[in-house]
A = this chain, B = another copy of it.
Amino acid sequence: MSEHRSRKDAVRNREAVLAAADALFARRENAEDVTTAEVAAAAGVGKGTLFRAFGDRAGLLRALYEARLEPLGAAVGTGPPPLGPDTPPAERVPALLDALLRFKLDNRALALALEDGDASPYRTEHYARWHALLRTLLERIPVAADSGFTAHVLLAAIRADLVEHLAGPGGLGREELRARLAELVGTVLTPAPAGPGPAGG
């Protein structure tokens, strides 16, 4: 239990690196060419400090991603409908996916860097969380296909690089994309020939 309290400078430096990385990733077009040396320099810190604090580059990315995702996590965990736990599944699933889509649109570079990184995005802890939640919700809806697989596919529909591709220059606008996704989710969730279905394009 005796977790050694981190030293003050360590905490401060960790924050500095996080902030520097945040700024850098937000500004830079392609997140892949933000280097660890650059982040460290921008934070006014040595590379050793960065690696000490986050383990490796991916660790930094993950930490940053989690930090940005935290508000959404809170909204889902303890917030009001349509994201919070008091929402009926059939309504919550589309809301969740829409929120995630918006998140990725708002954090393109970072999401891209994290998901397109060398390591599989499917082994991350936060993917497991979202997938588990989605799966659980789907199980409470009379959806035709396997819940686990369907959850994976729905999440695949909003993968960072696909979103980037669709929303890229000359592509769909934010609202269009949201509409398309809602439409698709509606289709997947439609239990039987009787339910609702948005007007097609």
Contact = CB atoms under 8 A, between A and B. Distances in A.
Interface residues on A, range: 35 or more
A91 B180 contact: no
Chain B CB count within 10 A is highest, among A118, A144, A147, A157, for: A144
Interface in A158-201: 159, 161-162, 164-166, 178, 180-188, 190-201
A38 interface: no
Contact of A157 (B98, B153, B193): B153
Contacts of A193: 190-195, 197
Given A143-B187, A144-B186, A153-B153, A95 B197 contact: no
A188 B186 CA distance: 10
A121 B161 contact: yes
A199 B113 CA distance: 31
Nearest to A142: B200
Contacts of A180: 145-146, 149
Q: Dominant SS at the A interface?
A: helix
Given A156-B162, A161-B121, A198 B178 contact: no
A180 B191 CA distance: 17
A178 B161 contact: no
A161 B197 contact: no
Contacts of A32: 118
Contact of A196 (B95, B195, B201): B195
A144 B178 contact: no
Given A94-B198, A120-B164, 14 more contacts: A95-B201, A143-B200, A144-B190, A145-B187, A146-B184, A152-B166, A153-B153, A156-B157, A159-B159, A188-B188, A190-B190, A190-B192, A193-B195, A196-B199
Shortest Cβ-Cβ A-B pairs, 5 listed: A196-B197, A122-B165, A186-B198, A192-B197, A156-B156
6 contacts: A152-B165, A156-B156, A187-B187, A187-B190, A194-B197, A198-B198
